[in-house]
Structures are given as C-alpha cells and as structure tokens.
C-alpha cells in the first residue's frame, strides 16, 4: 500500500507581531484576495486551512464586504476550512474562562459559516496547558495539533534535531490530569515542513528526498503530514502543479492536496498499538530550557495587569451581577454587550499580543482594546448594581439614612476591609450657579453631624470615617437629559466577611452621639514596628525585610519581602542575566517606615527603600542586538553608571484576615533589568503547586539533567504555593504571571517588572517601550497554612478571591422584593474554584462553572443542584454525571 502524503495549504496568521495590526491586516486582504481568485482559477485546489481562527474572516470582510457571498460559498463547499477558535490564544497568560470563551465564540462564529474544523489547533502556542484534553472534549473537539512543548524550537522557528528531545512519534495520546485524552499531532518538523514546494524536477527531487525522510522519521502511520505554509505566507499558487511533479518523481507515494479532517480520519484509522502518550502541560520541560518562552510572562507586565483587570471585570463582576440582576423571562441580560466585550478582550489574547513580544505599536493598540472592553464591563456592572439595589427592601432604615449594598461576586467566602464612598447630599445646577452650589455643599460638610453605620437589624457596625469631599457629579437618566450637580461624599471603611454570591445592606445614618474611641489595640505597634492580629505577627526589620509568625502553626518565616534587581540582556521572549551576574538587594540598605493608616480594623504602612541601579546594560548589548546574536551567546554587562530608584511597598493587614496584601510602586528610570520580590520559605519540599488553566498544577522545584538555562521561570494565574506536611506559603498576585522557585532555600520569586529594548526572535526589532520606563506598581499577597489539604485549599481560594473586591452601590430607602441580606445561590464546595456565573447563551437558564482544585474526588452542596444539569463549554448536556460529585481535576459547568 502506498504511503499517503497529505499536503495542507495554510498560512499561520499572527494578526499583529513584528509590524502593527493594520500592516498585517492589509497583507491578509492580499492573501485572501489571491486565495479566492485561486479557487476560481484552479478547481483542483482542494482547500485552505484558515489557521483555526474565525477572526480572519471578520478581518478580511471589514475591507472586502462585497466578497462575503464568495467566502460563505467556499466555506459551505469545504474549500475554506474555518475554526474552531475565535483567535489563536496564548494558553497560559489568559484565564481558563478566556480560553473557554475563545472556544465557545469560535464555535458559534464557525457555525454561522459552516462546519468548524474538528481540531484544537495550537501551532505556535508558547507551551501548552495541561487541561487541553479535557477542555477540547468540553468543546466537542476530538483532536489536537501543536508545535511546541515536546521538542525545542529556537531562533526563527528552528526545530532542533536531538534524540534526547524527541517524542516517540509525531502522533501521540495527550492525557490530562482528569484522565481525559485526545489523539494529538506534533508538528515535529514545524508547521512549515511542506512549504514552497518546487515545480522544477531537480529541485523537487532534492526537496522531497529530505522532506519525506524527515516526516517518516516520526510518523507512526503511513499517513504523512506536509504543512504548505508558514507565518504570513502567501498561498502557493502552483501547489497543484508541484504535487503532480512530486507524484511523477515518487510513484510509491500518493500525494494529496488535502485538509485536516481527511488527514486526521486517516491517522485515527491506522494508529499503532504502541502509540505513546504525553501527560499534562507541555512546556519543553525536557529541553535545555532556553526556548520555553516562559519569560514572555514578564514581558511588558502592564499588559498582563490590564488583561487580569478586564478578565476580573467581565468574569467575576459584570457577568455575576448581571446574572443576579435579570430574570430570564424578561430577556434583560446584556448578551450582546458582553459578547462584544469578550471579543474585544480576546483580540488581545493571541500569543504575540498578550505575551508582550511584538513591536511597540502593537501593544499601544492593545491598551485601547483593554480600555474598551473594561468600559463595557463597567457599564454592565453599574446597570446590574442599580437594578439589584433598587429591588432590595431598605425600609428597615430611617428615612434620612443612606443605605448601601455590598455584594460578594466571588464564588467563595470573602473577608475585606472595604472602602465605600457615599453621597450624603447634593445641590443641582438647575437650582443655582455651580459655584454657589459648591459653596452650599461645603457648608453642609462643615456642619456634618456625627455618623454611624448600622446593619439591617439596627445594630452598629464598626467603621472608620476616612474623609469627606465636595465635587462635581452628574446623572444620566434613561428618559431625560443629563442632571449635573455638586455633591458631598463621605468615605467610610467597614470590615466585611461575606459568603459566595451574597449581599448585605448597611446604612450610614446620623448618630445619636459621637462614636467613642475603641479600647482595642491598633493593628500596628509603631514603637516596635510590628503589625499584629489574631493570625499573624509581622516584624519590620531595619532593612525592610519582614519576620512573620504564623500564629496558627507557631512557625516563623524570616527575611520575607526582599526586592531583587538584576540585569537583563535578553529580549521580550527570553530573560538573560548580564554577564557580570550583578544582583542588587533591597536588604542591602535601610528602610523608612511610614504609617498611612492605623486603627482597630486594620493598618497600612509603607516601606520606603532606595536602591542604586545601573542605568542600563553597557554598550556591548547594542552591538549584540544589532548583530542578532542569539541570547545564549551574549556577554554584555551592566553599566557602571547608576541612578537612585526609590521603591515604596505598602503592607496592609486587616483585623479579621490571615492574608497580607502588598503593593510595590516605583518610578522605573533604568533599562535592561528585572525586578523581583523574594519570599524565602526554607521549607523542605521537592515540588510546589501553582494555579494554571483550570487546574492547580504540581511542578518540580528542580530542573532535568538536560537543562542549561540558569533560570527556571514558570507561569502562574492567581497564586503559587509551596508546603511541607506542617507548614505552607501561598503567594497571590494580580497580573504578575511569572515566578521562579529558587531551589537553595525554596524561595518564591515573583517578577514585578522586566525591561528590555528589543523584540527578539528572527531579526532585530527595537522596542523602546518594552523598557517600561515611568511609574509602575504591582500588587501581590501572602498567606500561610498548616500544610493540610483543607487549609492549603483555603489559601488558594483566598488568593483567587483577593483579585476581586467586594462591590458596593448606594441606594435609597424603598420597598423591594429582595431581602436586605441574602445570597443569589448557596454554595458549599471548598474544592470548587468558581470561574464563571453567567446566563446561558440561549437565555433560558444560568451557568455556573468552576474546577476541582485537587486531584481527589470532592462533593458539592448547593441549592441549585436539584434543578441543575452538567453541561460542556458549548452548554450542551453531558450525561451520566452526578451533580453532587466532582471528579478529580474536573472542570464542571452547571446549567440551572
């Protein structure tokens, strides 16, 4: 039987990368024009694979709307192969929910055109998430294809040929932590192994002798895959003629211009019994470590922070609030607005975009997309908050009180020292000149009576009066013209502990008497520089580092919170420390402690430290960049010239929380460097855990024997954790997606900022804005546990919920159908990390999604279970699932 050579024409389309979006966009229009004309001219041209992403059609038809009918006909005929994703995302730097929405929206858009390709397509993803198999099954996809993670891929997509790196075959089973598996194809010779096929016979003979041998080296069946295209490659116009020449030269093979559906079907029918498998995440763990591209997690950190901000706004604020606010039968849920916001966000999620490894103009445009998506999310959230609060019965409060509603939109209980701003009084512009109304409110401010906060039972709630302010405001009524005014605002703090998806109504009222000072001690002991509550005792040392006693375990952690600065002579893809190995630590100089606030409910202090940092790398780096010297061969040092850089780190401790919150701010005045914060654990552990995509992944603290990179950077979502049998440390973050475990003392190192001046990869592209000069801040948290499953999982959940503040909205005194204190749903499932609460796509029911934080079976208790069914990402029912039992590492979606 002849071996079959399946030649698939395609072009891997990075929407933006080494040029701005519109430069690539116009080339896409040219490619699609040529492709559509080729289909007319050559009926033997079987099909073209549109890179697995439906957005290509949107981009093309923006410019060529008159060709929509042609495109639709070609998709229906199977000539244009579309989907199944909306965009080709980076797995690790976007949330699990963003990955799922890419699959959902891609499926919906694909079906508007025709049948989506039955293939999870990850040709150039910078490492692959461990839950891919389960996620593809939940998206009704049977196969996967990927280019990275098993073999190393270096400069200009060079695939290294080294036996200790290779997989058994280019086909394999890919298993997930829940034991799901999918048949997967590795582009063992990259996704360009059939590119630019010669028509000339002499050239073709040489070409095919090499290409066939390369493919046969790894193929497990007689079906060989040739990918006819590469990054931004124009369609090969004479590929059919070239295949006829190949057929003539190699009659023992059958050359087929084909598509993935036919190729995968042929492979599936003939896979050998000894087909190997790979497990979990594929991040090039068994390579030399230089080209994992994990350092893209710290390139242009501001992008990751903006992405996290918008994800939390859509996933954890806007959608849950809208779900709580609107009944299905009234069809008020803002499906279209949220879909628009999601698509806008997803346009920032391709790997060259969110990874921060493109030219400056690309990332400037990204920030505008983030802002657009964020604004939609804020609009949806405000509308929903107003709807919910207007339906709450607040008649329990005095007529002249100022009720306000606090809502926990997290899927886990949350404690927070919440700051709330309340409008106390207003003066309309319609009733007087703006300046007169301003003075009127200033007079009200001067005569402000004693105040107190009460709950719906009339009980006093401890609070802090933070301050008052008079300023301009306006309303935008839905039925009449805008209403400008001056208003007096009062800002208070209350300590809240709230269940998942719950609300509580409080009110600011006039007090009968002045609030007496509390007899409880304040949180910060200014004499001894000690922060202390019932859970933690934190001693600030003269060098700014912390000694922390975990009172639950009586274990002390020393030398916490040290800032580290090192040189970086790499690029946006890869960190490379300067050859001088110069490291500068904040603990090398004294710190100044400043008290920001300190009372019985909480305290916030600032540590101020100045470090003298080299202004940049030395002159050697400019030569190495311009000469396109691979970063593994660079020898530049840091400059001898230094400038002082002042770092301010705020530490916040609240009375009722066992979690510390930090924010480090500084004006970055230097280039070519990396800043990290270090938490030394000294715990005896060989492995650690981190939140990844719908899983808590366990990773080794040490590298394999083939590893040559001096560093071992890793990706994280909301947290990283290390523990032994008795103690554990969990470090949370907000948009800080890179960490490293330093194996000498199991220090957790979180990257705050990494600054470099070039893109990297296949040429020299200057990126001065990747130096991230200017004001910067990064937020992170720290908590401790006793090493048990229960306390460890609690620390995971708190790190996740720490990314989402309790929401607050002011309302009036009115009757309503909702109770002052209640929950949208009740949920008791500590092992379930809730990622989404939304209305179903058909508007008929709601969907609650989350994942099992452990590799053990877990139970779920909720008032929704009696009417719930288990569904997939496409919101189709999955049979034979016990709604009360979570399988190990399961991603679970409830429709109720």
Contacts of residue 615, Cβ cutoff 8 Å, sequence gap at least 6: 639, 641, 642, 643, 669, 670, 671
Q: Which of 237, 264, 296 is the last residue of a domain?
A: 296
Residue 331 covered by a domain: no
User: 649 and 606 in contact (C-beta within 8 Å)?
Assistant: yes
Contacts of residue 600, Cβ cutoff 8 Å, sequence gap at least 6: 462, 518, 520, 521, 522, 523, 655
Q: Which of 580, 576, 566 is nearest to 611 (CA)?
A: 566
Cβ neighbours, 10 Å, residue 623: 11
Residue 522 covered by a domain: no
CA distance 232 to 53: 14
3-class SS string, 337-396: HHHHHHHHHHCCCEHHHHCCCCCHHHHHHHHHHHHHHHHHHHHHHHHHHHHHHHCECCCC
Same domain (yes/no): 662, 716: yes
Same domain (yes/no): 780, 846: no
From the CA atom positions of the chain, what is the Rg in Å?
A: 29
CA distance 183 to 172: 6
Q: What integer is the mean pLDDT of 297-302? A: 99
Same domain (yes/no): 53, 191: yes
Query: Where residue 158 falls among pLDDT bands split at 50, 70, 90?
Result: low
CA distance 147 to 131: 17
Residue 200 covered by a domain: yes
Compute the Cα dihedral for 108, 114, 118, 119 and give only its sign: negative
pLDDT at 721: 99
Contacts of residues 702-705 at CB distance under 8 Å and 24 or more positions apart, as own/partner, are 702/743, 703/289, 704/285, 704/286
Q: Point out the residues that are catalytic.
A: 124
Query: Where residue 384 falls among pLDDT bands split at 50, 70, 90?
Result: very high
Query: Where residue 154 falls among pLDDT bands split at 50, 70, 90?
Result: low
Beta strand 120-122 with 143-146: parallel, antiparallel or unpaired? parallel
pLDDT at 161: 59
- β-strand partners of 406: 504, 808
Look-up: residue for tokens 């000690």?
Answer: 530
How much of the chain, in percent, has pLDDT values that exceed 70?
Answer: 98
CA distance 233 to 28: 10
pLDDT digits (tens, 9 = 90+) for 341-352: 999 999 999 999
The pTM assigned to this predicted structure is 0.97
- Phi and psi of 725, rounded to 5°? -75, -20
Beta strand 48-49 with 80-81: parallel, antiparallel or unpaired? parallel
Q: Which of 262, 278, 296 is the last residue of a domain?
A: 296
pLDDT digits (tens, 9 = 90+) for 57-99: 999 999 999 999 999 999 999 999 999 999 999 999 999 999 9
Structural domain boundaries, residue 637: 530-703+710-801
Residue 165, pLDDT above cutoff 60: no
pLDDT digits (tens, 9 = 90+) for 421-461: 999 999 999 999 999 999 999 999 999 999 999 999 999 99
Residue 408, pLDDT above cutoff 90: yes
498: buried, middle or exposed (CB in 10 Å: 19+, 13-18, 0-12)? buried
How many residues are recorded in the chain? 896
Residue 304, pLDDT above cutoff 60: yes
Which DSSP string corresponds to 15-74? SSSSS-HHHHHHHHHHHHHHHHHHHHH-TT---EE-TTBTHHHHHHHHH-GGGHHHHHHH
Q: Structure tokens of 771?
A: 């130096």
Look-up: residue for tokens 């039925």?
Answer: 479
CA distance 866 to 802: 30
b/e map 282-296, b = 16+ CB within 10 Å: bbbbbbbbbbbbbbb
Cis peptide preceding 84, ω within 30 of 0: yes
Domain count, the chain: 3
Q: Structure tokens of 537?
A: 């005792």
Same domain (yes/no): 724, 850: no
Query: Where residue 553 falls among pLDDT bands split at 50, 70, 90?
Result: very high
Which DSSP string corresponds to 858-869? EE-EETTGGG-E
pLDDT at 365: 99
3-class SS string, 194-247: CCCCCCCHHHHHHHHHHHHHHHHHHCCCCEEEEEECCECCCCCCCHHHHHHHHH
Q: Which of 571, 498, 559, 547 is nearest to 299 (CA)?
A: 571
CA distance 610 to 666: 10
Same domain (yes/no): 761, 839: no
Q: Which of 843, 867, 704, 836 is nearest to 329 (CA)?
A: 843
Residue 492 covered by a domain: no
User: 104 and 49 in contact (C-beta within 8 Å)?
Assistant: no
Look-up: residue for tokens 């957005």?
Answer: 55
User: 623 and 596 in contact (C-beta within 8 Å)?
Assistant: no
Residue 482 covered by a domain: no
Residue 245 covered by a domain: yes
Cβ neighbours, 10 Å, residue 80: 24
459: buried, middle or exposed (CB in 10 Å: 19+, 13-18, 0-12)? exposed
CA distance 83 to 80: 10
Residue 464 covered by a domain: no
Same domain (yes/no): 538, 678: yes
Q: What integer is the mean pLDDT of 309-336? A: 96
Q: Which of 296, 320, 335 is the last residue of a domain?
A: 296
User: 709 and 290 in contact (C-beta within 8 Å)?
Assistant: yes
CA distance 544 to 647: 11
Contacts of residue 651, Cβ cutoff 8 Å, sequence gap at least 6: 531, 538, 540, 546, 561, 604, 605, 606, 607, 660, 661, 662
User: 569 and 632 in contact (C-beta within 8 Å)?
Assistant: no
Cβ neighbours, 10 Å, residue 158: 12
Same domain (yes/no): 9, 116: yes
**Rounded to the nearest 10 degrees, how much is the dihedral formed by the CA atoms of 660, 665, 671, 676?**
-10
Which DSSP string corresponds to 244-285? HHHHHH-TTEEEEE--HHHHHHHHHTS--TT--EEES-BS-T
Q: Structure tokens of 734?
A: 């907000």
Q: Structure tokens of 248?
A: 């003539």
pLDDT at 328: 84
Residue 570, pLDDT above cutoff 80: yes
Q: Which of 416, 498, 389, 344 is nearest to 810 (CA)?
A: 389
Q: Which of 422, 419, 492, 489 is nearest to 460 (CA)?
A: 492
b/e map 777-788, b = 16+ CB within 10 Å: ebbbbbbbbbbe
Q: Structure tokens of 811?
A: 């309302």
Helices (H), strands (E): how many in the chain? 16, 46
Same domain (yes/no): 740, 852: no
User: 207 and 197 in contact (C-beta within 8 Å)?
Assistant: yes
Containing H/E element for 342?
A: helix 335-346
pLDDT at 167: 62
Same domain (yes/no): 796, 831: no
Beta strand 673-679 with 747-755: parallel, antiparallel or unpaired? antiparallel
Same domain (yes/no): 840, 797: no
- Phi and psi of 200, rounded to 5°? -60, 130
CA distance 722 to 226: 44
For position 671, which CATH number holds?
2.70.98.30
Query: Where residue 515 falls among pLDDT bands split at 50, 70, 90?
Result: low
Same domain (yes/no): 743, 874: no
Contacts of residue 315, Cβ cutoff 8 Å, sequence gap at least 6: 95, 97, 98, 835, 836
Cβ neighbours, 10 Å, residue 862: 19
For position 854, which CATH number holds?
2.60.40.2220
Residue 391, pLDDT above cutoff 70: yes
Q: Which of 733, 658, 649 is nearest to 691 (CA)?
A: 733
pLDDT digits (tens, 9 = 90+) for 179-225: 999 999 999 999 999 999 999 999 999 999 999 999 999 999 999 99
Residue 870 covered by a domain: yes
CA distance 146 to 153: 12
Residue 162, pLDDT above cutoff 60: no
Same domain (yes/no): 114, 210: yes
CA distance 88 to 350: 5
Question: For the chain, what is the mean pLDDT?
Answer: 97
pLDDT digits (tens, 9 = 90+) for 470-483: 999 999 999 999 99
Query: Where residue 739 falls among pLDDT bands split at 50, 70, 90?
Result: very high
Residue 569, pLDDT above cutoff 90: yes
Q: What integer is the mean pLDDT of 280-298? A: 95
């Amino acid at each position: 039987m002849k071996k079959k050579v399946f030649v698939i024409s395609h072009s891997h389309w990075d929407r933006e990368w080494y040029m701005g979006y519109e430069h690539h966009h116009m080339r896409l229009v040219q490619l699609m024009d040529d492709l559509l004309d080729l289909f007319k001219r050559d009926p033997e041209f079987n099909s073209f694979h549109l890179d697995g992403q439906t957005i290509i059609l949107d981009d093309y038809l923006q410019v060529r709307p008159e060709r929509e009918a042609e495109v639709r006909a070609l998709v229906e005929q199977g000539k244009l192969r579309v989907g199944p994703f909306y965009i080709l995302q980076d797995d690790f730097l976007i949330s699990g929910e963003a990955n799922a929405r890419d699959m959902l929206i891609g499926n919906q858009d694909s079906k508007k055109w025709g049948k989506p390709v039955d293939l999870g397509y990850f040709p150039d993803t910078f490492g692959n998430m461990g839950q891919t198999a389960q996620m593809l099954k939940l998206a009704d996809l049977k196969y996967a294809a990927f280019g990275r993670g098993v073999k190393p891929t270096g400069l200009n997509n060079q695939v290294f040929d080294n036996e200790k790196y290779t997989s058994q075959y280019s086909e394999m089973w890919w298993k997930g932590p829940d034991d799901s598996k999918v048949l997967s194809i590795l582009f063992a010779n990259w996704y360009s192994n059939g590119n630019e096929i010669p028509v000339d016979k002499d050239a073709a003979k040489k070409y095919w002798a090499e290409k066939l041998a390369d493919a046969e080296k790894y193929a497990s069946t007689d079906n060989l895959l040739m990918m006819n295209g590469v990054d931004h490659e124009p369609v090969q116009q004479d590929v059919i003629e070239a295949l006829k020449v190949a057929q003539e030269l190699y009659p023992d093979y059958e050359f087929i211009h084909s598509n993935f559906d036919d190729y995968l079907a042929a492979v599936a029918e003939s896979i050998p019994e000894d087909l190997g498998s790979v497990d979990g995440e594929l991040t090039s763990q068994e390579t030399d470590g230089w080209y994992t591209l994990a350092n893209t997690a710290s390139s242009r950190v501001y992008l990751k922070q903006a992405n996290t901000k918008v994800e939390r706004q859509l996933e954890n604020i806007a959608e849950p609030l809208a779900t709580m606010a609107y009944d299905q039968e009234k069809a008020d849920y803002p499906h279209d607005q949220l879909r628009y916001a999601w698509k806008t966000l997803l346009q920032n999620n391709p790997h060259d975009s969110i990874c921060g490894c493109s030219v400056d103009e690309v990332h400037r445009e990204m920030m505008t997309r983030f802002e657009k998506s964020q604004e939609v999310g804020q609009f949806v959230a405000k509308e929903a908050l107003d709807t919910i609060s207007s339906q709450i019965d607040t008649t329990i409060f005095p007529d002249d009180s100022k009720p306000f509603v606090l809502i926990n939109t997290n899927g886990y209980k949350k404690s927070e020292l919440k700051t709330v701003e309340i409008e106390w009084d207003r003066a309309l512009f319609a009733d007087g000149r703006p300046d007169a109304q301003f003075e009127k409110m200033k007079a009200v401010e001067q005569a402000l009576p004693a105040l107190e906060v009460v709950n719906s039972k009339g009980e006093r709630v401890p609070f802090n009066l933070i301050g008052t302010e008079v300023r301009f405001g306006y309303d935008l009524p839905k039925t009449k013209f805008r209403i400008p005014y001056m208003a007096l605002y009062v800002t208070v703090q209350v300590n809240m502990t709230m269940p998942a998806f719950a609300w509580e109504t409080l009110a600011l009222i006039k007090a009968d008497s002045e609030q007496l000072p509390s007899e409880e001690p304040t949180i910060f002991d200014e004499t001894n520089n000690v922060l202390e509550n019932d859970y933690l005792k934190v001693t600030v040392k003269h060098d700014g580092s912390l000694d922390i006693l975990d009172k639950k375990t009586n274990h002390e952690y020393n030398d916490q919170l040290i800032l580290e600065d090192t040189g970086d002579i790499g690029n946006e893809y890869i960190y490379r420390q300067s050859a001088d190995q110069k490291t500068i630590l904040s603990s090398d100089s004294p710190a100044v402690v400043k008290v920001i606030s300190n009372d019985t409910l909480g305290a916030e202090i600032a540590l101020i430290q100045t470090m003298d940092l080299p202004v940049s790398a030395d002159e050697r780096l400019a030569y190495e960049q311009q000469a396109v010297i691979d970063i593994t061969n660079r020898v530049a040092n840091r400059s001898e010239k230094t400038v002082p850089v002042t770092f301010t780190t705020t530490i916040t401790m609240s009375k009722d929380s066992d979690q510390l919150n930090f924010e480090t701010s500084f004006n970055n005045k230097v280039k070519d460097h990396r800043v990290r914060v270090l938490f030394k654990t000294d715990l005896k552990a060989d492995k650690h855990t981190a939140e990844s995509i719908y899983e808590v992944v366990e990773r080794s603290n040490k590298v394999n024997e083939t590893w040559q990179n001096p560093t071992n950077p890793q990706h994280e979502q909301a947290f990283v954790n290390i523990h032994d049998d008795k103690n554990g440390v969990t470090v949370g973050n907000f948009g800080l997606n890179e960490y490293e475990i330093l194996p000498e003392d199991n220090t957790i190192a979180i990257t705050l900022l990494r600054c470099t001046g070039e893109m990297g990869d296949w040429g020299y592209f200057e990126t001065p804005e990747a130096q991230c000069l200017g004001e910067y801040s990064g937020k992170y948290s720290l908590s401790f546990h006793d090493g048990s499953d229960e306390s460890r999982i609690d620390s995971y959940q708190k790190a996740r919920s720490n990314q989402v503040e309790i929401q607050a909205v002011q309302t009036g005194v009115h009757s309503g159908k909702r109770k002052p204190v209640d929950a949208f749903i009740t949920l008791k499932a500590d092992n379930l990390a809730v990622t989404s609460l939304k209305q179903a796509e058909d508007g008929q029911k709601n969907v609650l999604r989350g994942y099992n934080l452990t590799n053990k079976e877990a139970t779920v208790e909720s008032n929704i279970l009696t009417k719930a069914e288990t569904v997939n990402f496409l919101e189709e029912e999955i049979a034979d699932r016990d709604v009360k039992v979570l399988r190990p590492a399961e991603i679970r979606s409830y429709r109720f």
